[in-house]
């Protein structure tokens, strides 16, 4: 037992010694490391001050001399200059290419701009041309209408004159009857002379009537030959009057529709301070229906309705200054005409209200 205890004590002592020795070694190593780290720091500081490349070059042994290396050293700056020159030349070529591309782009853009400008100018010219043509056509139509009005006015005057002539004719017949009664009491020789005078008076009045009839029919636009008889002239006059009656009948429904619509607008929807709208029926005199403001002249119409070329078989034309357009209708399209007329007059009322709001 004692031996065992001694052995244990010895083992413990040895272990303790080993531990101490290991600690001492570690401490020594740590001290050495610290010294080494200090040395390294000093060496780094010195290396910063001293250029190692120079030291290396100084320490390295001198190599053997070679002619090829010397040639390369001599030619190196020339090669560098050649490379620089090539790079510059390439840059200049790229610059020229870019400038030429830019010039092409500018040329194409300028060409496009010029073409667009020309197109705009052509469009503007086309618009101006269209406006001028429209104004010319309107002026021509106006001149034609004025001529037709003048002809119709002359025709009406001739009709009035014809009526007065008819009265003169009746009076002439009565006077002739009185003369004939008186001539019965006169001798035969005197009676023949008197009869001759009566016949001359009759022929004179007949020639005057025929001449007036011819002039009247010619002023209406009917061409007559020099050898046309009185019956032919009267036949052509009858045809003209029938044509006018057809125009009146074809425009009758349009007149009624326009008058009823304008009456309703004046009564219900027109503002208090606004001018009344009038429907002027000139179908008998001029074959026209005019819708205008009360204080305006017939020339300053809002809507004008008439038959194309004064022919009852043609379409009915509506010149609308409210919408700035011209429309055509068949004689049976009265409902479409009514709808379009209401739209135009509603637009006219809206414009009047806007003007009144601005004024107030």
pLDDT digits (tens, 9 = 90+) for 71-88: 778 888 888 888 888 888
In a domain, 61, yes or no: no
68 vs 140, more confident? 140
> Is the pLDDT assigned to residue 227 strictly greater than 80?
no
What is the overall mean pLDDT for the chain?
76
What is the structure's pLDDT at 122?
Answer: 86
In a domain, 338, yes or no: yes
Residues 216 and 256 in one domain: no
Whether 303 contacts 317, CB under 8 Å:
no
Residues 253 and 220 in one domain: no
Residues 219 and 322 in one domain: no
What is the structure's pLDDT at 338?
Answer: 92
pLDDT digits (tens, 9 = 90+) for 54-65: 444 444 444 455
Nearest to 168 by CA among 91, 160, 111: 160
Domain tally for the chain?
A: 2
pLDDT band, residue 327 (cuts 50/70/90): very high
Angle at 308 between CA 306 and CA 310, to 5 degrees: 80
In a domain, 74, yes or no: no
Residues 268 and 323 in one domain: yes
Residues 253 and 354 in one domain: yes
Nearest to 236 by CA among 209, 250, 216: 216
> Highest-confidence range of 4-8, 16-20, 214-218, by mean pLDDT?
214-218
Residues 198 and 259 in one domain: no
Residues 286 and 327 in one domain: yes
Domain finish residue from 228, 262, 277:
228
Nearest to 316 by CA among 296, 347, 344, 341: 341
pLDDT digits (tens, 9 = 90+) for 245-296: 888 888 889 999 999 999 999 988 888 888 899 999 888 777 899 999 988 8
Residues 355 and 253 in one domain: yes
In a domain, 335, yes or no: yes
User: Which residues form the domain of 186?
Assistant: 161-228
Residues 266 and 215 in one domain: no
In a domain, 138, yes or no: no
pLDDT digits (tens, 9 = 90+) for 85-143: 888 888 888 888 888 888 888 888 888 888 888 888 888 888 888 888 888 888 888 88
Residues 176 and 215 in one domain: yes
Tell me the whole-structure pTM to 2 decimals: 0.41
Nearest to 337 by CA among 231, 261, 239, 244: 261
Give the C-alpha separation, 137 to 132, whole Å. 9
Residues 265 and 314 in one domain: yes
In a domain, 128, yes or no: no
In a domain, 115, yes or no: no
> Percent of the chain at pLDDT above 90?
16
Pairing of strands 288-293, 316-320: unpaired
Residues 218 and 181 in one domain: yes
pLDDT digits (tens, 9 = 90+) for 8-29: 656 555 666 566 566 566 665 6
In a domain, 202, yes or no: yes
Residue 118 carries which DSSP code?
H
């Amino acid at each position: 037992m004692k031996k065992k205890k001694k052995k244990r004590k010895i083992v413990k002592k040895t272990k303790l010694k080993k531990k101490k020795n290991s600690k001492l070694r570690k401490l020594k190593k740590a001290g050495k490391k610290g010294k080494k780290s200090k040395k390294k720091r000093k060496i780094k500081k010195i290396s910063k001050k001293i250029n190692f490349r120079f030291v290396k070059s100084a320490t390295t042994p001198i190599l053997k001399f070679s002619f090829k290396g010397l040639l390369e050293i001599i030619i190196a700056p020339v090669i560098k200059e050649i490379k620089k020159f090539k790079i510059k030349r390439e840059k200049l070529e790229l610059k020229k290419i870019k400038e030429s591309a830019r010039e092409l782009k500018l040329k194409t853009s300028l060409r496009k701009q010029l073409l667009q400008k020309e197109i705009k100018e052509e469009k503007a010219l086309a618009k101006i041309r269209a406006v001028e043509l429209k104004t010319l056509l309107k002026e021509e139509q106006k001149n034609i209408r004025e001529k037709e009005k003048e002809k119709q006015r002359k025709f009406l005057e001739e009709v009035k004159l014809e009526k007065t002539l008819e009265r003169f004719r009746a009076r002439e017949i009565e006077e002739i009857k009185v003369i004939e009664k008186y001539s019965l009491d006169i001798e035969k020789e005197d009676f023949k002379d008197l009869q001759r005078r009566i016949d001359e008076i009759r022929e004179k009045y007949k020639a005057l009537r025929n001449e007036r009839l011819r002039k009247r029919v010619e002023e209406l636009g009917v061409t007559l030959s020099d050898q046309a008889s009185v019956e032919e002239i009267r036949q052509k006059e009858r045809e003209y009057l029938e044509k006018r009656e057809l125009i009146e009948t074809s425009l009758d429904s349009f007149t009624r529709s326009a008058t009823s619509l304008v009456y309703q607008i004046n009564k219900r929807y027109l503002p208090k301070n606004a001018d009344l709208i009038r429907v002027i029926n000139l179908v008998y005199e001029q074959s026209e229906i005019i819708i205008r403001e009360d204080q305006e002249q017939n020339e300053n119409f809002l809507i004008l309705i008439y038959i194309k070329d004064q022919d009852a078989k043609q379409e009915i034309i509506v010149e609308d200054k409210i919408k700035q357009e011209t429309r055509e209708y068949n004689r049976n399209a009265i409902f479409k005409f009514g709808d379009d007329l209401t739209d135009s007059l509603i637009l006219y009322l809206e414009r009047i209200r806007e003007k009144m709001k601005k004024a107030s």
